[in-house]
């Protein structure tokens, strides 16, 4: 009874946002779905052609590898940042959070160009190494897998920090006191208390970061090399270079299904926890 | 057996221990020795320094001065994990992601004991606290009382030199609290572990302790057995904090006589206070007898005349407030009888008590 009223009120408040989202997202999505079945040789021809093409298979592999690697890298870096933040006083934490979110509010294009300056052949890092070693160092740091991962990780870290920090702050500090009185050393406390109790944040962070990186477009285009192009770039390729819209649409649909495979279990898992 | 070179019978000894945060002193230089197998309670209002004292012993905070000796070894600068102390928390502080078995096994795993020993010790500890068969439950599947039993099992499982309990029953309701008090007493009796118990509940302290250390604004107000604190308080603070008390202001006129302001002379136990010094005569309400105004007074008893101002029937006891002729309110607690046997509101009564039941305190 109480719950149903609550639900009605909730849906009332959520309806404007939901209507806008549905109105803006759903029609183009339906159009994409429709187009993907408009192949030259029958409704499924675009899908068959795409699934049989080597280019698609390679790009799919690249996408999955890059998404996994950048998710894991941003998890490791983000976890360390979150650990540090959790130990600060609330005021200091707010200030540091601002610094972490600052790059998040910066245009992704600007950040990518900044990285080409930092990582380039005559960029800051190579110049610094050249100056320090006296040898003409020209490490290939950009327009390849390294540059792509740096850019992706930089973009994703804040997204890991937030959920992990929330999990860490939810741990009762008496547990740490109890563990240390019972004779546990810091490393044991970390592995037996901190890590298991931050799993909800880690899973939430990891999945959202992975799904975000599946759809990466600007970063691989600007910081990756020709072999580092991802599915979104392939959609762009079929869309603007080849002008084969059914194929572009079918890749989009496949990408959407791929993302859903990861998002749906996460949504269900969260719901179970609430 | 552990080899022990401590002065026999000394579990923990605090020597001039003090704590200041900046310019605020929360614990003045304190001397305190807890005997082996003793149940010592740190009692006091909030802000009295009892929790500070506990945290100093546990190693959660470092003292500003002084030393802490545990079974003769200096642990002042040791981190908590090397002190070999057990601690029971008010919030239980059980690991929510571990089963009851793993929670109790935690300190043994930290000590890298073989898994067979762990299994035996854990099951034994759970048996002792009455939680046999609960090994595979998670803490959230247990009631508050059961969770605290796990908290206690987790301590006794590694036989620490002392176990500290920080208001362990504070989150439980009254009935359960009394039941758990009995159980903790039984465990203490069976295991003979030294226990330092923190509470602000004086009844809990009186019921459980061998000795009570009553704290007030960062220092010890009185240290003694429950009997000593109740029957021979050394100050007004102790008399008012433990139990109920009537305090009558007066002046010493003879070794064993006090002139209560406006109420004449009363007999008190002999003291060596200077004549004319201001004192308080304390009488516990249950030592006051109430009789009809015209009744004879027992030989040697002190008495006061007054009017019944309030009667409250609270079960086993009935509390009667009497306003004396001089305007002082005095409370008497009587074993309850039916309403017909109680004095009537507004009636004249005589309060009397034996001089031996009164204590003279500095005003």
Domain locations in chain A as residue ranges = 37-273
Q: Which two tokens stand for residue B267?
A: 């007999």
CA A120 to chain centre: 24
Q: What is the CATH superfamily name and number for domain A37-273?
A: MetI-like (1.10.3720.10)
Nearest to A247 by CA among A232, A235, A231, A229: A235
CA A134 to chain centre: 38
Q: CB–CB of B281/B260 below 8 Å?
A: yes
Residue A173 φ then ψ, to 5°: -65, -20
Residue B317 φ then ψ, to 5°: -120, 155
Instruction: For residue B94, name the pLDDT band (cuts at 50, 70, 90).
Output: very high
H helix intervals, A53-89: 54-86
What residues of B are in contact with residue A184 (Cβ under 8 Å)? 81, 106-107, 110
Residue A126 φ then ψ, to 5°: -65, -40
Task: Look at B85 and A178 and tell me if their CB atoms are within 8 Å.
Answer: no
Average pLDDT over residues A163-173: 95
Task: Look at B58 and A181 and tell me if their CB atoms are within 8 Å.
Answer: yes
Characterise B301 by phi-psi region: left (phi > 0), alpha (psi -120 to 50), beta (else). Answer: beta
Task: Look at A182 and B91 and tell me if their CB atoms are within 8 Å.
Answer: no
Q: CB–CB of A197/A171 below 8 Å?
A: yes
Mention every residue, 6+ apart, whose C-beta is less than 8 A from residue B149. B129, B130, B131, B183
Task: Look at B80 and A196 and tell me if their CB atoms are within 8 Å.
Answer: no
What's the pLDDT score for residue B129? 94
DSSP state of B113: -
Positive or negative: CA dihedral A249, A251, A254, A256 = negative
Cα(A10)–Cα(A14) distance, rounded to whole angstroms? 6
**Which residues is B164 bridged to in the sheet?**
B87, B196
Task: Look at A182 and B154 and tell me if their CB atoms are within 8 Å.
Answer: yes
Residue A32 vs residues A37, A218, A249, A254, B287: alpha-carbon distances, Å = 9, 21, 5, 11, 92
Q: Mean pLDDT score of chain A, rounded to an integer? A: 91
Strand residue runs (E) in B234-301: 246-254, 257-260, 264-267, 278-283, 289-292
Cα(A167)–Cα(A170) distance, rounded to whole angstroms? 5
| pLDDT tens track for A176-211 | 999 999 999 999 999 999 999 999 999 989 988 999
**Per-residue pLDDT for B98 more than 60?**
yes
| Residues of chain A that touch chain B, judged by Cβ-Cβ distance less than 8 Å | 172, 174-175, 177-185, 188, 192-193, 196-197
**Per-residue pLDDT for B7 more than 80?**
no
Task: Look at B81 and A193 and tell me if their CB atoms are within 8 Å.
Answer: no
Going from the N-terminus, what domains does chain B have, and what CATH number goes with each?
A: 10-239 (3.40.50.300), 244-362 (2.40.50.140)
**Residue predicted with more confidence, B237 or B260:** B237
Q: CB–CB of A45/A51 below 8 Å?
A: no
- CB of B89 less than 8 A from some CB of A: yes
Task: Look at B83 and A172 and tell me if their CB atoms are within 8 Å.
Answer: no
**Per-residue pLDDT for A167 more than 90?**
yes
Q: Which two tokens stand for residue B205?
A: 């302290």
What residues of A are in contact with residue B85 (Cβ under 8 Å)? 181
Q: How far is A89 from chain B (nearest CA, A)?
A: 18
Instruction: For residue A272, name the pLDDT band (cuts at 50, 70, 90).
Output: low
Mention every residue, 6+ apart, whose C-beta is less than 8 A from residue B169. B148, B176, B177, B180, B181, B199, B204
Average pLDDT over residues A262-270: 79
Q: How far is A220 from chain B (nearest CA, A)?
A: 40
Mention every residue, 6+ apart, whose C-beta is less than 8 A from residue B89. A174, A177, A178, B151, B166, B168
Average pLDDT over residues B227-249: 93
Instruction: For residue B341, name the pLDDT band (cuts at 50, 70, 90).
Output: confident
Report ipTM for this prediction.
Answer: 0.84
- CB of B91 less than 8 A from some CB of A: yes
Q: How far is B100 from chain A (nearest CA, A)?
A: 15
What's the pLDDT score for residue B6? 45
Q: How far is A116 from chain B (nearest CA, A)?
A: 45
| Strand, coil or helix: B209 | coil
């Amino acid at each position: 009874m109480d719950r149903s009223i609550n639900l009605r009120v909730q849906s009332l408040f959520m309806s404007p946002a939901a209507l806008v989202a549905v109105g803006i997202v759903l029609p183009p999505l339906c159009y994409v779905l429709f187009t993907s079945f408009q192949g030259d040789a029958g409704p499924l021809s675009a899908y068959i052609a795409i699934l049989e093409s080597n280019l698609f298979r390679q790009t799919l592999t690249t996408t999955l590898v890059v998404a996994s690697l950048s998710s894991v890298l941003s998890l490791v870096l983000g976890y360390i940042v979150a650990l540090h933040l959790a130990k600060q006083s609330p005021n200091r934490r707010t200030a540091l959070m601002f610094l972490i979110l600052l790059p998040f509010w910066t245009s992704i294009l600007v950040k990518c160009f900044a990285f080409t300056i930092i990582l380039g052949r005559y960029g800051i890092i190579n110049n610094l190494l050249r100056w320090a070693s006296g040898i003409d160092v020209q490490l290939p740091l950009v327009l390849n897998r390294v540059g792509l991962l740096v850019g992706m990780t930089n973009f994703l870290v804040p997204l890991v920090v937030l959920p992990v920090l929330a999990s860490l702050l939810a741990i009762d500090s008496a547990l740490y006191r109890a563990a240390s009185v019972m004779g546990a050393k810091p490393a044991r406390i970390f592995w037996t208390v901190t890590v298991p109790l931050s799993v909800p944040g880690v899973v939430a962070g990891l999945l959202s970061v992975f799904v975000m990186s599946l759809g990466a477009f600007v970063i691989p285009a600007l910081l990756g090399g020709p072999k580092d192009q991802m599915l979104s770039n392939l959609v762009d390729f079929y869309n603007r270079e080849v002008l084969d819209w059914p194929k572009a649409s079918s890749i989009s649909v496949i990408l959407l299904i791929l993302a859903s495979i990861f998002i749906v279990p996460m949504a269900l898992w969260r719901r179970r926890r609430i | 057996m552990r080899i022990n070179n401590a002065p026999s019978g000394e579990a923990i000894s605090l020597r001039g221990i003090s704590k200041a945060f900046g310019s605020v002193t929360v614990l003045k230089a304190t001397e305190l020795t807890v005997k082996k197998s003793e149940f010592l309670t740190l009692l006091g209002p909030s802000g009295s320094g009892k929790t500070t004292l506990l945290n100093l012993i546990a190693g959660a905070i470092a003292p500003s001065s002084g030393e802490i000796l545990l079974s003769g070894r200096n642990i002042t600068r040791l981190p908590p994990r090397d002190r070999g102390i057990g601690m029971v928390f008010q919030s239980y502080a059980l690991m929510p992601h571990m089963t009851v078995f793993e929670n109790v096994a935690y300190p043994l795993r930290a000590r890298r004991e073989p898994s067979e020993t762990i299994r035996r010790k854990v099951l034994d500890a759970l048996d002792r606290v009455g939680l046999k068969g609960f090994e595979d439950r998670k803490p959230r599947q247990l009631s508050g009382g059961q969770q605290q039993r796990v908290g206690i099992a987790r301590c006794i499982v590694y036989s620490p030199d002392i176990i500290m309990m920080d208001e362990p029953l504070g989150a439980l309701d009254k009935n359960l609290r009394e039941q758990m008090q009995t159980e903790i007493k039984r465990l203490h009796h069976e295991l003979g572990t030294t226990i330092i118990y923190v509470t602000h509940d004086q009844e809990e302290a009186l019921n459980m302790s061998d000795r009570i250390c009553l704290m007030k604004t960062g220092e010890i107000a009185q240290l003694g057995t429950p009997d000593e604190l109740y029957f021979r308080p050394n100050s007004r603070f102790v008399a008012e904090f433990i139990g109920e008390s009537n305090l009558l202001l007066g002046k010493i006129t003879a070794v064993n006589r006090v002139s209560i302001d406006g109420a004449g002379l009363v007999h008190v136990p002999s003291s060596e206070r200077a004549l004319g010094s201001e004192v308080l005569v304390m009488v516990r309400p249950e030592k006051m007898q109430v009789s009809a105004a015209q009744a004879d007074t027992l030989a040697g008893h002190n008495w006061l005349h007054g009017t019944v101002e309030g009667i409250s029937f609270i079960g086993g006891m009935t509390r009667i407030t009497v306003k004396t002729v001089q305007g002082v309110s005095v409370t008497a607690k009587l074993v309850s009888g039916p309403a017909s046997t109680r004095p009537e509101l507004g009636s004249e009564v005589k309060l009397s008590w034996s001089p031996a039941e009164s204590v003279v305190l500095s005003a």
